[in-house]
Amino acid sequence: MKNKIEELEKKKEKTRLGGGQEKIESQHAKGKLTARERIEILVDEKSFEEIDMFVKHRATDFGLSKQHYPGDGVVTGFAKIDGRPIALFSQDFTVFGGSLSETHAEKIVKVMDMALKLGIPVIGLNDSGGARIQEGVVSLGGYADIFLRNTLASGVVPQISVVLGPCAGGAVYSPAITDFIFMVKNSSYMFVTGPNVVKTVTHEEVSFEDLGGAETHATKSGVAHFIYDNEVEALLNVRRLLGYFPLNFKDKPEDKLFDFENLKPELKFDEIIPDNPNKPYDMKQIINLLVDNNDFFEVHANYAENIITGFARIGGISIGIIANQPEVLAGVLDINASVKGARFVRFCDAFNIPILVLEDVPGFLPGTEQEWNGIIRHGAKLLYAFAEATVPKVTVITRKAYGGAYDVMNSKHIRGDFNFAWISAEIAVMGPKGAVEIIFKKEIAASDDPEKELEKKLSEYIAKFANPYIAAERGFIDDIIEPKDTKIKLIQAFKLLKTKVDSNPRKKHGNIPL
């Protein structure tokens, strides 16, 4: 028995070395960690239970029958993060460049299938040269098997992709289907075709980093939700993100302890909104004051910054926040903001995470660029996402709520549960100047002093509409509140909403305007 135990340990030791010491050093020289080092940082100490260490590829062409690395370029198994279970796979670039063979894919599929049965999140650490070229179509089939699992798992368990090296060609579509993508600056990249193909087809000269690096995907394409300077930071933030989620769609996020006794009104809120409604302010100031420990975990921080999305806790309850940002494009809704917001709302709804909306929106962005690129179609996504969401939904209108954007941003009419307005709120079909110029066009033109007439009509309009009282008279706003009481009100609302049950009509699935 002793010999057998030693033999087993020897085999495992060899497997843990992946492609060998030289390849590990080359990985380190690129500033990258190995597949196993990454797992150690990601999961709770000594919690990782590896499976399929002995799996070997079955290929024989191109000399592969003589090249075997047990585990076949991917480390898979189960572990814990903050004491809660997860399934994971971590591609090992030291073995055939982490490329995906038939058996490599089978290993990933196995943990994904198990994660679905267990109802636990899946985390994929991607570092791969793509389909294993020597295996041809078998490898493509392996990718499709994974894409199918990603799709079936969507909305059942949270799926997180951490791209820590190359992720190119069709391989990008696995992370793309998952809920969140993390990338690392200067060492990870994602593209459908690389710089060489781009040059041949479009004659553009572009570097790997500019085409598909972390910065590009965090700012231009919106493909990456989170980017970090190094792998350690990225992995630690995966842990942090997971803390806001339940294990699966039937589960609820865990509450944290909160000291209600010492919660006091927050007077700083009164100083944030400028007297002049055309002046911007930073909505993140409001968010940071509202959330527990000023701890806001922003999603898509550098993409479509006119809308803010992210996770936090309020009164210990995990919530998703979606807020207009008056500091960027006056907080207007455009195509990118609508798509960013819609995807976030749908994630929260899928996983029982209550939604808080902080609203200061002047409307949708006008212009040919927006119209021709489909603001109608894309804006509808946000409307659809809010309307179909059945999780607790609370809105606070801090200032402007104009036009269609008023309806879209979780209004009462599309099942907002509690809709509050600050005393600074202005709820109307459009902003005062635009409105007056249209409805009093003739009077103003006919007047001896058009400018004075405009001013007069403007003050009449402001007195009548630029406030929250008309909406509150109709019951479209449940209460008009003083900013200082916002946190207390919100905690009470989310606590009350703990027992909320709502549903949508029976159907196969809806048809969100994609």
Give the interface with ligand HXC as residue ranges (CB under 6 A).
96-97, 99, 129-133, 140, 143, 166, 168-171
| Inter-residue contact 191 to 185 (CB < 8 Å) | no
Assess whether 404 carries a catalytic annotation. Answer: yes
Residue 133 or 438 having the CB closest to ligand HXC:
133
Buried b (16+ CB within 10 A) or exposed e, 49-80: ebebbebebebeeeebeeeebbbbbbbbbbbb
Q: Which phi and psi (to 5°) does residue 123 adopt? A: -120, 125
Through-space distance between the first and last CA atoms of the chain, rounded to whole angstroms: 61
For 335-428, list the strands marked E by DSSP: 355-361, 393-402, 418-422, 426-428
Amino acid at 137: V
**Min CB(30)–ligand HXC separation in Å:** 7
Helix then strand then coil, in percent of the chain rounded to 5, is 45, 20, 35
Residue 166 or 175 having the CB closest to ligand HXC:
166
Residue 143 or 422 having the CB closest to ligand HXC:
143
| Inter-residue contact 139 to 132 (CB < 8 Å) | yes
Residue 175 or 246 having the CB closest to ligand HXC:
175
**Min CB(128)–ligand HXC separation in Å:** 8
Q: Of 105, 405, 466, 493, which one is the catalytic site residue? A: 405
Residue 36 or 313 having the CB closest to ligand HXC:
36
**Min CB(388)–ligand HXC separation in Å:** 31
Residue 187 or 324 having the CB closest to ligand HXC:
187
**Min CB(132)–ligand HXC separation in Å:** 4
Of 88, 91, 85, 86, nearest to 72 by C-alpha is 91
The token pair at 469 is 């009282």
Alpha carbon distances (Å) from 285 to 245, 398, 483: 24, 12, 13
Assess whether 405 carries a catalytic annotation. Answer: yes
Query: What whole-number distance in Å separates Cα of residue 467 and Cα of residue 428?
Result: 8
**Min CB(140)–ligand HXC separation in Å:** 5
Query: What whole-number distance in Å separates Cα of residue 7 and Cα of residue 11?
Result: 6
Q: Of 141, 170, 367, 374, which one is the catalytic site residue? A: 170
Alpha carbon distances (Å) from 7 to 12, 72, 172: 9, 20, 39
| Inter-residue contact 337 to 344 (CB < 8 Å) | no
**Min CB(163)–ligand HXC separation in Å:** 13
Query: What whole-number distance in Å separates Cα of residue 136 and Cα of residue 343?
Result: 35
Q: Of 73, 98, 129, 169, which one is the catalytic site residue? A: 169
Assess whether 310 carries a catalytic annotation. Answer: no
**Min CB(33)–ligand HXC separation in Å:** 15
Residue 31 or 510 having the CB closest to ligand HXC:
31
Query: What whole-number distance in Å separates Cα of residue 438 and Cα of residue 34?
Result: 64
Active-site positions read 169-170, 404-405
